[in-house]
Amino acid sequence: MKKVILFADTGIDDSIALIYALKNPDIDLKAVVAGYGNIDRDRSARNAAYLLKLAGRTDIPVILGSTRPLSGETPVFFPDIHGEEGLGPISPPMSAEPFARRTNFTKLFQVIKQNLEDITIVNVGRCTSLAMAWYLSPEVMKLVKDTYLMGGAFLEPGNVTEVAEANFYGDPQSADFVCQNAPNLTIIPLNVTRDALLTPALIDFIDTRADTPLLKLIKPILDFYYDAYQELEPGIAGTPQHDVSALVAATEIPGMFSYVKKRVKVDDRDGYAEGISIADFRPGTPECTGTGCARIASTLDIERFTAHLLDILTKE
C-alpha cells in the first residue's frame, strides 16, 4: 500500500483525485496539504476537509498550504473552470462547521517522520507548498521516498498560456526548485493528462453506481467542469482528469505510463516563456540520473486508465 500525502488546490479535478485516493485500496492517504491555485487557499482547505468529512475520514489531517506564489504576487484563480467555491455548483459552508482538523506544516513533518522513508508525495497544484516544505526542513523532506507532480507541458502547447501549464505557470520558481531538488521525481505533464478524458456517458455510469454522499458529488462537479471545458475547447469529448492521473501514476501499475528521463528547467523569468517547462528531447540525448533528473511521462494507456478509474470509483 502506498502511503501518500496529497498536495492539492482543491478544485474539481483535484477533488476527483482525492476521492480516488480515498477509494483505492492500494493507497493509504496520510494527509492533504491544501494550497491556493484553482481557488484561494482557505477554500481549497475547506473543500478538502468537506470531502474527507463526507467520506467519514476526518482522521486525515488537512494541512494549510501556501496562499500565494514565492514571488509574492497576487494569484489568479479560475472560477470559470472550477466554480466560485472550487466545487462547481456545490458550496459547502466556509466556517459553520469545522469539517476536519486543519493544521500546519509541523503536522506534515511529523507524518513524514512517522512513516520513515515510506512516504510518496503527489503534488497536483502549484508547487509553492512543496517548495516551502523543502526550504523549511530539507532534512525531513529528504526522507520522502518519491514525488509525483502533475504539471508542465513538453513539446506541446500549454493551457494557461501558449507555452505554459497552469501548475508550473502559477509559481514557476517553486516548480523549478522542486524539479532541481526532489529526489525520485516523476512528472505527469499536460500533454499526457489532456487526453485522459472522462466522457459524459462514463460520468453518468459512475453516477448510477454512486451510493454515498461523497460519490454523488462526482456527477454535478464533473458536469460543471464539462460545460466549462466546452467553452474553452468546443467539441472536446470529455473532461480531462489531470490530477488523478498523477495519483494513478503513483500506484505504479506496470505499463500504464511510459517515461523518459530528463533534466527539467522551468523558466521563472517574466515574459512570453514564463512557466514553460524545458527538457532536452533532441535525438541521441543520453538519459540522466540522480537528483535533478525526472521521469517524465510521455504516454498513457487511455483505455486501461479509464477502466481502472471506473473500477476504483464504482468499487463497493
Cβ-closest residue to ligand BDR? 166
CA–CA gap between residue 136 and residue 280 (Å, rounded): 31
Eight-state DSSP code of residue 75 = P
Cell of 71: 514571488
Residue 165's binding partner among Ca ion, ligand BDR, none (Cβ under 5 to 8 angstroms by kind) is: ligand BDR
**Does 160 engage in binding with Ca ion (CB under 5 A)?**
no
Minimum distance of Ca ion from residue 139's CB (angstroms): 28
Residues 214-253 that bind Ca ion (CB under 5 A): 243
Contacted by 83, from ligand BDR, Ca ion, none: CB < 5 to 8 Å by type: none
Please say whether the beta carbons of 194 and 165 come within 8 A: no
With CB under 6 A as the contact rule, the residue among 150, 175, 188, 196 that binds ligand BDR is: 150
Grid cell for residue 210: 454512486
132: phi then psi, degrees, rounded to nearest 5 = -60, -40
Cβ 119 to ligand BDR shortest distance, Å: 21
Binder to Ca ion among 2, 14, 99, 193 (CB under 5 A)? 14
65 binds Ca ion (CB under 5 A): no
All residues at 6 or more sequence positions from 56 whose CB lies less than 8 Å from its CB, including other chains: none
What's the rounded Cα separation, in Å, for the pair 213 and 194? 28
**Binding residue for ligand BDR (CB under 6 A) from 66, 120, 167, 239?**
167
Distance, in Å, from the CA atom of 310 to the CA atom of 199, rounded to the nearest integer, reads 12
Contact 197, 239 (CB under 8 A): yes
Compute the distance between CA of residue 111 and CA of residue 92 in angstroms, rounded to an integer: 27
Which helix or strand (DSSP H or E) is residue 296 part of?
strand 293-300
C-beta closer to ligand BDR: residue 110 or 298: 298
- Residue pair 297/187 in contact (Cβ under 8 Å)? The answer is yes
Identify the residue whose cell numbers are 493551457: 159
Stretch that binds Ca ion, among 120-128, 136-144, 197-205, 290-298 (CB under 5 A): 120-128
Question: Which one of the spans 48-56, 85-93, 160-168, 274-282 is the region binding ligand BDR (CB under 6 A)?
Answer: 160-168
The stretch near ligand BDR (CB under 6 A) out of 21-29, 127-135, 163-171, 219-227 is 163-171
**124 part of the interface to Ca ion, by CB under 5 A:** yes
List of residues contacting ligand BDR (CB under 6 A)? 11, 13-14, 38, 78, 124-125, 150, 159, 165-167, 190, 242-243
Which residues in this chain contact Ca ion in the complex, by CB under 5 A?
9, 14, 124-125, 243
